[in-house]
Amino acid sequence: MRMSRLFFQTLREAPADAEIASHQLLLRAALIHPIAAGVFDYLPLGLRVKHKIEQIMREEMDAIGGQEVTLPMVQPADLWRQTGRWQAIGDDMARFKDRNGRDYCLGMTHEEIMAELARAKVSSYRQLPFILYQIQTKFRDEPRPRGGLIRVREFTMKDAYSFDRDFAGLDAVYPLMYQAYFNIFRRSGLDVIAVESDTGMMGGTMAHEFMALTPVGEDTLLICDACGYSANRQIALFRKPAPSSAAPAPLADVHTPNATTIAALADFLGIAQAETAKAIFLMAELDGAEGETYEQFVFAVLRGDMELNETKLTNALKARRLRPATADEIRAIGAEPGYGSPLGIDRERVTVVVDDLVAASPNLVAGANRPNYHYRNVNYGRDYEADLVVDVAAAADGYACPRCGAPLHTVRGVEVGNIFKLGVEYSAAMDATYLDENGETKPIVMGSYGIGSGRLMACVIEHHHDENGIQWPITIAPYQVMLVGLGNEKSPEVIAAADQIYRDLQAVGVEALYDDRDERAGVKFNDADLIGIPLRLTVGGKGLKAGALELKLRRSGEVREVPLDELVAAVQAVIAGEVARIDATVTAETLG
């Protein structure tokens, strides 16, 4: 492609709302163009990168037996109603009615559509197992789009689905997907880690997220360097400290003026925050009869030095979502904001959830449900009971690993892919079944596996850039070579030589972007660095006279002189070396 004909316009400065490097460079290098919050055009250079990423996805899916399909983005509500997710999913789903008043949505995921396809086409165990995948546009009405392609509303996803006779089949295909995902990321030039994760709205029995570690990530991950344990903070476990073995002491009032926080309470009494019980007041949206929902007051109790993990609590309650209770709602159940505890509240109107460490810890200080007063020596079982005793505490830096006891540490990451063992959650709800060898009807066992191509592109840029621009890995770069011609109308021999080199590279299949514009050398070099093509080949008068041209490697800045008569072979050799360098990172992974 000649840059004189390329549809692009680089920017000297990024827009003020582009805060992270990938967003800035995607805009400045003319890869994308914003249309609305979280909605972007892909321009020619950006689309070439996207297509290369998606081709890697296709190759890895095909390698494990995947078959590509395309399913509709517009989906009928009736299918979502069969699984209950039409009601369960909130405002993230874009819903609309057709001219006949029928309900539809824009697909944010395709479990229902895939299950319907299996229901329609599968009848016998002989048709199982199989894997279907698609690369399809999706839409989620994300309330806070950010970071360019990191968090968007309209996006492209490679989503694959496995269909098996039983859980043994799912257990066999899951590690194949796990390995294929590592291959996709590493072939794209991105190193990731896999962490255990919450199944969320997808449901199922197991899930892993593939995380690109970066300070701009929204997810907090807990990592153990000693044994390799890793999990998203949403579900991360930790080994809790052994509680005191002291005998329960008598309950006693204590005056605690203005001690409305755990920190203020511990400071006033001269005790550790671990000797207190923290009250958290929430309203949970729960499923009721006939698809309706209702709100339930939830009183969660944790040890004062720990934080609530809302994901763990949501899962324990089987709630759709949680929100903070208002002061009026708190007082209505007999509690007092800032001085709350489960003692003396209206238990008929409240679900009490107690963290398992609190239940085992004697003689904690907890609220008296009266302003400026707390109780000393509050003991679970003697002074109050719970509806649920379960782990609802959030893991944090320095907490003990649940496997080996070594200290955990936190890192930030961006989720670039996820895999789920769905089991029979969708197939059972949608009657996607098959007849086994004995003529018995069984639900198909499913798995779901997704990667967003745009987010992957952005994360590659986050990991591969410098102060001058992008440093594309050779495998997904829009072009392999940036050919910079420094000639003008006064140097026809330079123009002729550059044109011939461009034709020679094309003839052997080298992807070349030829900067034939009538611009100053500085402008061309700056654009070459900004766009980030892996190899830059410069054609100028001095080089032609010397019989050698400059070849520069973008990722390292290494410069070499290449004889003109060896030019094409040298370029091919450098490209092959860069591909081999990427291929060397593709190694076998063990499912953690």
Whether the Cβ atoms of residue 555 and residue 471 lie closer than 8 Å to each other = yes
Contact call for residues 331 and 344 (beta carbons, < 8 A)? no
DSSP 3-state of 575: helix
Task: Scan for tokens 């203020």, then name that residue.
Answer: 264
In the chain, the domains with their CATH numbers are 47-72+108-236+410-462 (3.30.930.10), 252-390 (3.90.960.10), 472-583 (3.40.50.800)
Q: Per the structure block, which two tokens stand in for 407?
A: 């200290």
Rounded to 5 degrees, what are φ and ψ at 62?
Answer: -65, -35
pLDDT at 200 (0 to 100): 67
Contact (CB, 8 A) for 192 and 179: no
Pair of tokens at residue 43: 């321009």
The pTM score is 0.90
How far apart CA 300 and CA 330 sit, in angstroms, is: 12
The letter for the amino acid at 12 is R
Contact 416, 185 (CB under 8 A): yes
- For every residue of 22-48, DSSP letters joined together read HHHHHHHTTSEEEEETTEEEEPHHHHH
Helix residue ranges, H only, 188-290: 262-269
State the sign of the Cα–Cα–Cα–Cα dihedral 162, 163, 167, 171: negative
How high is the pLDDT of residue 592?
A: 67
Q: Are strands 206-213 and 66-68 parallel, antiparallel or unpaired?
A: unpaired
3-class SS at 484?
A: strand
Q: Which long-range contacts (CB under 8 A, 24 or more apart) does 356-360 make?
A: 356/240, 356/389, 356/390, 356/391, 357/240, 357/241, 357/243, 357/302, 357/303, 357/306, 357/393, 358/277, 358/301, 358/302, 358/303, 359/386, 359/389, 360/243
pLDDT tens across the length of the chain (592 residues) = 999 999 999 999 988 899 899 999 999 999 999 999 999 999 999 999 999 999 999 999 999 999 999 999 999 999 999 998 998 888 999 999 999 999 999 999 999 999 999 999 999 999 999 999 999 999 999 999 999 999 999 999 999 999 999 999 999 999 999 999 999 999 999 999 999 887 765 666 788 999 999 999 989 999 999 999 999 999 999 999 999 999 999 999 999 999 999 999 999 999 999 999 999 999 999 988 776 889 999 999 999 999 999 999 999 999 988 999 999 999 999 999 999 999 999 999 999 999 999 999 999 999 999 999 999 999 999 999 999 999 999 999 999 999 999 999 999 999 999 999 999 999 999 999 999 999 999 999 999 999 999 999 999 999 999 999 999 999 999 999 999 999 777 788 999 999 999 999 999 999 999 999 999 999 999 999 999 999 999 999 999 999 999 999 999 999 999 999 999 999 999 999 999 999 999 999 988 6
Residue type at position 255: H
The full DSSP string for 157-213 is: EEEEEEEESSHHHHHHHHHHHHHHHHHHHHHTT---EEEE---GGG-SSEEEEEEEE
Determine the residue type at 517. Answer: R
